[in-house]
Structure 1
């Protein structure tokens, strides 16, 4: 397995994206850094991480889905791979908050950002960015954030964690031949599924809905008060929790 270790870099996703554009990479080629100066999150947010305390890395997969609608299964693979490793360390109340945050005890401990580059031969370069809060003990002005160390009151070996996550990614990626099983597991961890949740749309209007699941295109399916089910993409709503 090709692991590129860098002391400091703006973004592991950008570095790996540029690398994949200039040379042929093996699947699961990984770039990891101790200091990510301009880490990216969903909706253009900045992912902030204390130097040397957490796992910030990106992994490359050359994916060849039969249909574009199968692209979201990569999100499922990554989320379940992380959940499996965290369960080993007995993190409790683990959930996947749509579209791809990992929560423990209702606190965000991991963020995932997957960027897809469609090539001329229709293959897709998937750049999988992962930020896992491992040994950071304080999150200023981030009341919904936590770390493995805070939740378990011990420090963790980041090198061991990285290798376990990459092995879990490989294992779950090889299960793509049985997508229905992956979807079933994903929905079993989906945060607030089946319960009333407050949402806010792009016009700042707040409303209640009940999460039914996620569509094959990665849209959140919400049962509204008029008994209709509406599908939302990541830019259309945010969950208030």
Structure 2
């Protein structure tokens, strides 16, 4: 495992992708930033990190034989790895909010941004960005955000959390080409936030409706039972409120 440590950078994902234009990094290369100035999240959102209180890093992972149609396996594997690692650190009531945010008691602690590069019908490699709130105490204008410290009352050593978290992710990714897709999906769905409960959603037109999450499709769409029918939604088509 090669670790590139940086003091401050706009985005660790962007840094890794720019590095790919110059050289092909070794499998498992990690870019770890002490401070990230322009982190990116899902839906083109930003990820705010605090120097010395949070972890922001990106992992480069290549694959030998992972089909493009199975790329959601990467998202599920990474989310499960993060969830399991944080549970080890004492985090309770931990769930995966589709597609791969990590929550504790309905509060978001970790965001994951995965960018895959395809070659023909296979996935060549991924750049996997992780943003984890560790020791923060305050979140200005972010009422749904939290940290490991706020959820457990424990102050953590960032290096220890980083080591455990990155190792857990690598272990899951090492087996992602071997573990049956359905087995991985079953594990993922068992930890899916609001699964089987009546929830409020908003579609791309801004209209809200009630529905029940049944699970996910093989391509990563959210399967929701609405009042009229069972429907599949992509990330751009739906937003879960509660």
TM-score of the superposed pair, with normalisation by structure 1: 0.95
CA distance in 1, matches of 2:95, 2:9: 30
Q: Secondary structure at the match of 1:22?
A: coil
Aligned to 2:18: 18
Asked if 1:141 corresponds to 2:141, the answer is yes
1:200 to 199, 202, 206: 202
Map of 1:166 onto structure 2: 166
CA separation in 2, counterparts of 1:204 and 1:21? Answer: 39
Report the alpha carbon displacement of residue 121 of structure 1 after superposing the two structures with TM: 9.1
Change (3 A) 1:186 1:8: same
Task: Identify unmatched segments of 5+ residues in structure 1.
Answer: none
Aligned partner of 2:236 in structure 1 is 235
Structure 1 residue 170: Cα displacement: 1.8
Aligned-partner Cα distance in 1 for 2:107–2:121: 41
Could you tell me whether the CA contact under 8 Å between 1:34 and 1:51 is conserved in 2? yes
Single out whichever of 114-123 and 25-34 deviates more from structure 2. 114-123
SS at 2:175 equivalent:
helix
- Output the CA distance in 1 between the equivalents of 2:232 and 2:17: 30
Is the 2:55–2:134 contact (alpha carbons within 8 Å) kept by the matching residues of 1? yes
Structure 2 gaps, min length 5: none
Higher mean C-alpha displacement, 118-127 vs 72-81: 118-127
Question: How many angstroms does 1:66 deviate by?
Answer: 4.2
What TM-score does the superposition give when structure 2 sets the normalisation length? 0.95
Contact in 2 for aligned 1:28/1:166 (Cα 8 Å) = no
Cα shift readout 1:143-181 (whole Å, capped 9, x = no counterpart):
100000111112101111111112111211233212332
**Count of aligned residue pairs for this structure pair:** 240
Structure 1 pair 151/123, CA: closer, same or farther in 2 (3 Å)? Answer: closer
Partner of 1:213: 215
**Which sits farther off after the overlay, 13-22 or 1-10?**
13-22
Residue 105 (structure 1) aligns with: 105
